[in-house]
Amino acid sequence: MPSYAVTARGWGWDRWALAALVLLALLLRLPPVLDNRFHSDEALYGYWGLLIANAKDVWLAGVPVYKPPLLPYLVATAQGFLGDSEFSVRLPGLVSGVLIIPLSASLSRALYRDRWAALTAAVCVALSPFAILFSATAFTDLPMVVLGLGACAAAARGRPGWAGLLAGLAFASKQTGLAWLPLTVLLQVLNLRSLIANRRRWPSFFVNCFLVMALVFAWDAVRIAQGAESFLGLGVTGYGGLRFIWPQELGTRLGEWVELARYLFVSPVANGALMLGLPMLVWHALTRARRTREGLVDLLLASFLLAFSFLHWLWAFPIWDRYLLPLVPILAILLGRFVALSARFICCRIGHWSLVIRRSLFAVCYLSFVILLALPAWNAAHSHYPVGGDHGAYDGIDRIATFLNERPEGTVVYQHWLGWVYNYYLFGGPISLAHWPTPAWLARDVQAFGAGPPRYITFPSWESSARVERALAEVGYGLKPVLATTRRDGTPSFTLYQIQPLSSR
């Protein structure tokens, strides 16, 4: 490992500043963790964790799984130690959201050997509304990002074995974790001094990486042997089938991705600095007569951003906000580099001023930059931006679940839109879930078994009950509202109905 990466002398006041920043970041991430109900995908991952933690289906062979295994087993571990709750399901994401801050600083420090660049990168990640809101979720993306970033940091610090292990674990979190693999390899190659010194350890990168991937596919093979479908095939199906986009989609998709990218940092100052700084860093690296290691790093990180962005733009990935998460730490590192270079340039221009004045001016400018980032971060901590997990759409689902779990054993709950949510919130309860594909199917089922146990159906506010009411009326049944819930803004969220004969209403 390079000496600058490990010596205590390389860290002083900035170590304490980073510790305070991590604590601040944790406090910003806790409110949305505790305030927001599960997004349907989060409920699904929580359900997988419950199947594992309760030994109902340890290999997840009885359910369609379209993700690699790392996150479900992390969630199951948290549920086993802390008990089942939304917090325990989100704990891996929260821990990842905190770890990404020192890892961004570590990677920046290893690449540029500049304390201010590293600290600025950490500040940008800690106060990024995108990072704050996704740290409060149970999505697979944040563990994938933090493990991929850790692989890059290990490679930049001359630890090929750790880099390979972490790169493999990034894939074990999510298939798109493979995007970190070429960047990790190139950062290791760029670190020539470490590469030469550790040439005998270089194969450990590939050994560790492929060992983790082999374990993932071995887990998948065990599931397939029990009759399950491969997670890779289901993953492609879940994306709607991967293809290049049609020409008429170019402008629309670009506009939608740009709209989501506004929330990476939100601050006009940070966004303006990126729009100005990235081209300047690339131009500076390309036009300098003498190539520098830092300039090559700028080109490498900018190339990663460009390739990642073009892949998601030109390949028919769904336009979901969480797919932009890998951009946050890389943009923060480059932003920190640009801010540090700009500060150094200004200090050179005002070198004739006294040291006290220069330091005071620098401190004022830096604090102003932090404050401009802090305002969007505060708004993100209160879920004011439309990215991340649920922002009220599923408010009240916990009340619905509590009511249903108190019903007698054998009670039937029909579900059409809320299957993943019900699987989690009603896990282990006395309820029997039945999926209804069409109103006609529902009416026939009620006509055949309606005289048995009580039957309930929930309609979210974005769906109408009219078609179901008409179908039930044809067989002599109707809907009786028993519970209505509202969102935090007072608008309706769910209405729970009991299905009863029309004569008894």
Are 374 and 412 found together in one domain?
no
Of the residues 337, 353, 381, the one at which a domain ends? 381
pLDDT(202) > 80: no
Query: Does residue 391 lie in a domain region?
Result: no
Give the pLDDT score at 196: 66
pLDDT(6) > 50: no
**Which has the minimum average pLDDT: 114-128, 192-206, 281-295, 347-361?**
347-361
Q: What's the rounded Cα separation, in Å, for the pair 412 and 404?
A: 9
Query: Does residue 425 lie in a domain region?
Result: yes
Query: Does residue 370 lie in a domain region?
Result: yes
Mean pLDDT of 339-364: 72
Query: Does residue 83 lie in a domain region?
Result: yes
Are 471 and 368 found together in one domain?
no
Contact of 322 with 134, CB cutoff 8 Å: yes
pLDDT band at residue 354 using 50, 70 and 90 as cut-offs? low
pLDDT band at residue 163 using 50, 70 and 90 as cut-offs? very high
The two most distant CA atoms of the chain are separated, in Å, by 93
Contact of 36 with 390, CB cutoff 8 Å: yes
Give the pLDDT score at 8: 40
Query: Does residue 483 lie in a domain region?
Result: yes
Note the pLDDT tens digit of each residue in 241-300: 678 889 899 999 999 999 999 999 999 989 999 999 999 999 988 887 677 889 999 999
- Residue matched to tokens 């199951």: 76
pLDDT(63) > 50: yes
Are 206 and 271 found together in one domain?
yes
pLDDT(150) > 50: yes
Of the candidates 453, 444, 431, the one whose C-alpha atom is nearest the C-alpha of residue 476 is 444
Are 322 and 407 found together in one domain?
no
pLDDT band at residue 2 using 50, 70 and 90 as cut-offs? very low
Are 333 and 214 found together in one domain?
yes
Residue 402: which CATH number?
3.30.110
**Eight-state DSSP code of residue 315:** B
State both tokens at 138: 């149970």
Give the pLDDT score at 78: 96
Are 450 and 353 found together in one domain?
no
CA distances from 291 to 185, 196, 225, 286 (A): 20, 20, 54, 8
Are 251 and 139 found together in one domain?
yes
**Which has the minimum average pLDDT: 86-90, 145-149, 281-285, 389-393?**
389-393
Q: 143: buried, middle or exposed (CB in 10 Å: 19+, 13-18, 0-12)?
A: buried
pLDDT band at residue 1 using 50, 70 and 90 as cut-offs? very low
Of the residues 338, 353, 381, the one at which a domain ends? 381
Contact of 142 with 135, CB cutoff 8 Å: yes
State both tokens at 325: 């998460």
Contact of 143 with 92, CB cutoff 8 Å: yes
Are 342 and 403 found together in one domain?
no
Question: Any residues with CB less than 8 A from the CB of 356 and at least 6 apart, and which?
Answer: none
Q: Which amino acid is at 424?
A: Y
What are residue 456's phi and psi, to 5 degrees?
-130, 155
Note the pLDDT tens digit of each residue in 12-41: 677 888 899 999 999 999 999 988 889 999
Note the pLDDT tens digit of each residue in 210-240: 999 999 999 999 999 999 999 998 888 766 6
More confident: 495 or 348: 495
Are 424 and 313 found together in one domain?
no
Query: Does residue 392 lie in a domain region?
Result: no
Complete DSSP assignment for 385-412: SS-SS-SSTTTTHHHHHHHHHTSPTT-E
The tally of domains found in the chain comes to: 2
Contact of 133 with 387, CB cutoff 8 Å: yes
Percentage of the residues of the chain whose pLDDT score is greater than 90: 71
Are 376 and 490 found together in one domain?
no
Contact of 114 with 108, CB cutoff 8 Å: yes
What are residue 147's phi and psi, to 5 degrees?
-75, -40
**How confident is the prediction for the chain on average, in pLDDT?**
89
Task: List beta partners, residue 496.
Answer: 458, 483
pLDDT band at residue 195 using 50, 70 and 90 as cut-offs? low
pLDDT(198) > 90: no
CA distances from 108 to 14, 103, 237, 425 (A): 13, 8, 37, 42
pTM flag (> 0.75): yes
Query: Does residue 91 lie in a domain region?
Result: yes
Give the pLDDT score at 230: 94
Residue-range definition of the domain harbouring residue 475: 397-504
pLDDT(365) > 90: no
Query: Does residue 107 lie in a domain region?
Result: yes
Are 303 and 449 found together in one domain?
no
Which of 71-75, 444-448, 450-454, 486-490 is predicted most confidently?
71-75
Give the pLDDT score at 197: 64
Of the residues 332, 357, 381, the one at which a domain ends? 381
Of the candidates 250, 378, 219, 387, the one whose C-alpha atom is nearest the C-alpha of residue 314 is 250
Are 341 and 312 found together in one domain?
yes
